[in-house]
Structures are given as C-alpha cells and as structure tokens.
Amino acid sequence: MKKVLFLIPLLIFSNHVFSQAINTSSKIEDSIKRLNWNGVDVVYIEDNRFPTFDLTLYFADGALSESSGENGLTEHSFSLIDSGTDKLSQAEILDQFEFTGSEFSSSVTHEYSTISISGLTKDMNTTFSQACSLLRNANYPEKVIKKEIDLERESLLTLVASPQGLAERVFREISMGQTPYSYPVSGKLNDFASYTPTKLRSKMNYFLDKVKKRIYLTGPSSVLSLEKILTKECQLKGTSQDFVRSMEVPVSKTNKTTFIFVPVPDANQVQLRIGRFLNANEIQYRNLDALASDFLGGGFTSKLMREVRTKRGLTYSIGSFIASQKQYGRSGISTFTKNETINRLIEVIDETVSKIAKNGISKEDLEHSSEGMIGSYPFKFESNSAFLSQLLLLDHIARPYSDLFEFKESVAKVTAKEVAQRIKDVYGFDKQIIFVLGDKSIESSLRKLTKKYGNLEVVDYKKYL
C-alpha cells in the first residue's frame, strides 16, 4: 500500500542523465557517487538543477520475513508508520508533512521493502527529523490501527464489486501456486486481528536494526548533509551481520494447462487472465522478455490487439507482461469481454500464440515493435523516483547499471526467431493457467472448452480475501 501525504510536482533529471550516457562514451557508473554512511551503502547522483531531493531507503528483506501467524505484518508495519507516536497524533503527523510539501511512501514485496521520501531541500532537515521520529518512535496506537484495518477490511469485502481488482488478486495467488511468493503481502481478512501495536513495532525494529539497508539519493550536493540526521536521529547503521533475504525455491514444473473459473454474482463482464509462474532459470532474458511481451500485447499495434480487438471486436483492450524479481517471475495476458464471447476470446488468444510459435514473425513486424519500444524507453525514467527505482532493482537482482543504457543495442540484436521462440516458451498454452472470473451463468459455456483445455475447476473467491 502506498500512502502519499502530499504530492509535489515531478521534477525531471533522469532524461538528462539518460541522454548524456547515450550520446557520450561515459558510463552511468561515472556519474554516481558511492558513499558509506555509518556502514550503510549510499548511491548518490548529484543534480543541481532543482532545489529538491529524492531518497529511497532499501531493506534487503520483505514479507518473506514473516513467521506463522504474521502474514501481512510487514506491509502494515510500513504502511501504518504514520499512525502516531507518544508525542504526535496521526493527524498532526500528516499536517507536518503537508506543511513542508513532502511525499512519504512505502512499499513491501516478498523479497525487499522500501521507504521513499521527497521534497524541497529548504525543508529537508525538518522532513527527515519527522521521518526519523516515525521510524524510531511510531507506537501504532490501537484505536488508529483498528480504524485503518476496518477500512481495509471493508475494501476487501466489497472487492467483488470491482471484478478487475478481484481478478488480479485471486489470479496472482493461484498463478504463483505453492511457492513462497503466492500469499498476498498485505495479508487476508483472517490475518487482520493479529496486528497488535507490539508486533508492528517489533517488526519495524527488525528492519531498522537487523536487515541490510541501502540509500538511494538524488539532489544538490547540500543533500549530503543528511548523513548526520540519518545516522544520528534515524540511527541507521550497517554491519557485516545484517540480514539479506535469499531463498532456494524448488523448481516449479508446469507441464499442463489448468482451467479455472471463479463465479461472482451479477457480473455483466468477464475477466480473463492467462499466465504462469516463472522459475529463476526462466528469467535470465530481461530485454528479450520485454520485447516478446511488447510484441505480443504491448499496445494498440501489438499482435493480440490486432487479432482480438481490431479484427474481431472481442475486447476493448488486452495486454501481456513478463515480470521478474531476483529469484522468480511471472507472465500474464490480461483482458475482458462480454459473457457471450469469452470462449471465442480464449480460442483466439490460443490461436494467435500458436501461429507465432509455428510460423514465426516477420522481420518487419519485429522492427516496428522494437522501434516503438526504443523510442518510448527513456520516458520510463522521467521522474527522480522512477530512475532511483530502476537503480535499486538492478542492485537487488545483481545487475550492472549499464543495463539501462545498453537497452537499445541489446534489443537491436534480438532476432525475430528468438522473439517467436520466447513467446512460445512463456505463453504457449500447453502449460498455462487459464483464469476466468465472471457471472455463474457462463459456467456451462466454459465447459465446452474442457476437451481442449482440461477439466474446469470452480473456485470460491472468498478464500482469497
């Protein structure tokens, strides 16, 4: 959950850095200073054009830190950090950040967690003193926690009214199977009662004191004065004993198609997801994956969009993705349609992937897709925070920063044969989870597809809330 206290205008510096790296022989590493603040590694890019700062604090652990009975505790220890201290109420904390025009947010994945702070350099010291006070002194008042959890509970209970959101939540857990990454980081309804002030405080202390940290920072050279506040007031320090999450995940062998239907009441639209879990040895081709998923379902000129929408009018939009973390990934195709066209939609997607696998793709089609990707690629790094996020992810997965700036050359080397093969390997219907969420009246129609895709498993969505 991301909680924004006050949004400031997004100020761009990354396109400047990006263009410099492309147009000169310099490497991105040359523009980055690597510092050490009390044992904590710091990645700093100086930017003197605007009187602003962006900082992300990375923790090398996430929801996988939770033991039995703690599901969702990590996410809530971060997202509820502004709930109150002994001296300040939640309302007073929010007012303070709003007064300085700062943004304070957090994010938790299974593998790692982050806290991001941005604002004006003139208010930098005040902002970080406030942030440090929260990190070290948040006491998670019981009344505030109950109020926030009640709102979250209500949101989950009414999720059925949002088929797209419900489909995303249920499909993610099902597609991740029996892996450690399947359970939602935010927990489920049955977990909420276990979030006590003591447990939340203890979990935050674990991340602050036991887990390896790294700081990503941009702004004028004056922002380097934050070292004193972060090491003294936030008490950040690093040692060789700091914990780094690493897990040996058994290889998930998917050798058949799984056909799942989730009935929901009074749905006038059907949500369709097709995808699967990707093992660590299947996520070694990040640029190839980006091109393959973009060619298949990356926009209005993608293959699926042309076949499904333009030629047949089966949906308004359709997209595909291949996403990876450090030790796992997942692929997916996401779309929706009317009740009476769900069967045909599934078949057309299957036929499209099968034709690519059998006949390949033309060099001209690939060039059209790759040129569009290369042209839009720099816009992924428009904001300071977006650029820092990319550096953070590369560090997390142990890849060099040069990957960002060698994208054009790397994509240009990919052949049409390689893209077709990758689409077959990742999206081939011989090992997908076909997930349909819609009105119970379409079940009989879906069963007509069982000869092709296997038995239809009917699943109750409530077990995923």
Mean pLDDT by 10 residues, the chain (465 residues): 36 46 51 93 92 96 94 97 92 91 94 96 95 96 96 95 95 92 96 96 97 97 96 96 86 84 93 93 87 88 92 94 89 96 97 95 85 77 82 92 84 89 94 96 96 95 97
The continuous run of DSSP H or E covering 131 comes out as helix 124-137
Task: Give me the pLDDT at residue 24, please.
Answer: 42
How many distinct structural domains can be found in the chain? 2
The continuous run of DSSP H or E covering 405 comes out as helix 402-405
Residue 70 phi/psi, 5-degree rounding, is -115, 10
Looking at the fold, whether 189 and 289 belong to one and the same domain comes out as no
Q: What is the arrangement of strands in the sheet containing 433-439, beginning at the earlier edge strand? A: 318-324, 329-337, 270-278, 433-439, 258-264, 456-458
Residue 344 lies in a domain: yes
Looking at the fold, whether 185 and 266 belong to one and the same domain comes out as no
Listed in sequence order, the residues at least 6 apart from 155 whose beta carbon sits closer than 8 Å to its beta carbon are: none
**Cβ 384 vs Cβ 54: under 8 Å:** yes
Task: Give me the pLDDT at residue 27, please.
Answer: 56
Residue 382 DSSP class: -
Terminal CA-to-CA distance of the chain, rounded, Å?
A: 16
Residues written for the chain: 465
Tokens standing for residue 57: 């604090």
pLDDT in tens, 27-59: 556 778 999 999 999 999 998 889 999 999 999
pLDDT in tens, 58-107: 999 999 999 999 999 999 999 999 999 999 899 999 999 899 899 999 99
Alpha-carbon distance of 420 to 362, in angstroms, equals: 10
Looking at the fold, whether 143 and 278 belong to one and the same domain comes out as no
Q: Which of 176, 198, 232 is the last residue of a domain?
A: 232
Half-sphere CA count of 461, side-chain side, radius 13 A:
27
Alpha-carbon distance of 400 to 193, in angstroms, equals: 43
* Identity at 296, one-letter amino acid code: L
Looking at the fold, whether 133 and 204 belong to one and the same domain comes out as yes
Task: Give me the pLDDT at residue 4, please.
Answer: 39
Tokens standing for residue 462: 């409530």
Looking at the fold, whether 124 and 262 belong to one and the same domain comes out as no
Q: Say which residue the tokens 């816009």 belong to.
A: 379
Output the DSSP codes for 31-93: G-EEEEETTEEEEEEE--SSSEEEEEEEES--GGG--TT-TTHHHHHHHTTTSB-SS-BHHHH
Q: What is the arrangement of strands in the sheet containing 113-120, beginning at the earlier edge strand? A: 33-37, 40-46, 213-219, 52-59, 113-120, 103-108
Task: Give me the pLDDT at residue 140, please.
Answer: 97
Q: What are the start-end ranges of the H helices in 181-328? A: 197-210, 226-232, 286-297, 303-304
**Cβ 60 vs Cβ 112: under 8 Å:** yes
Task: Give me the pLDDT at residue 44, please.
Answer: 95
Residue 4 lies in a domain: no
Residue 291 lies in a domain: yes
Looking at the fold, whether 96 and 219 belong to one and the same domain comes out as yes
Residue 245 lies in a domain: no
3-class DSSP assignment, residue 277: strand
Residue 203 lies in a domain: yes
Looking at the fold, whether 298 and 154 belong to one and the same domain comes out as no
Residue 193 lies in a domain: yes
Q: Which of 232, 266, 297 is the last residue of a domain?
A: 232
Task: Give me the pLDDT at residue 16, please.
Answer: 52
Looking at the fold, whether 167 and 289 belong to one and the same domain comes out as no
* Identity at 58, one-letter amino acid code: Y
Task: Give me the pLDDT at residue 28, please.
Answer: 58
3-class DSSP assignment, residue 325: coil
pLDDT in tens, 204-254: 999 999 999 999 999 999 999 999 999 999 999 999 999 999 887 777 777
Residue 7 lies in a domain: no
Looking at the fold, whether 378 and 289 belong to one and the same domain comes out as yes
Task: Give me the pLDDT at residue 71, please.
Answer: 97
Q: Residue 367: which CATH number?
A: 3.30.830.10
Looking at the fold, whether 269 and 410 belong to one and the same domain comes out as yes
Task: Give me the pLDDT at residue 12, please.
Answer: 40
Q: Which of 217, 232, 247 is the last residue of a domain?
A: 232
Angular region, 350: left φ>0, alpha ψ -120 to 50, beta rest? alpha
Looking at the fold, whether 121 and 228 belong to one and the same domain comes out as yes
Domain assignment of residue 77, given as a range: 14-232
Task: Give me the pLDDT at residue 177, please.
Answer: 85
Looking at the fold, whether 64 and 121 belong to one and the same domain comes out as yes
Residue 237 lies in a domain: no
The continuous run of DSSP H or E covering 335 comes out as strand 329-337
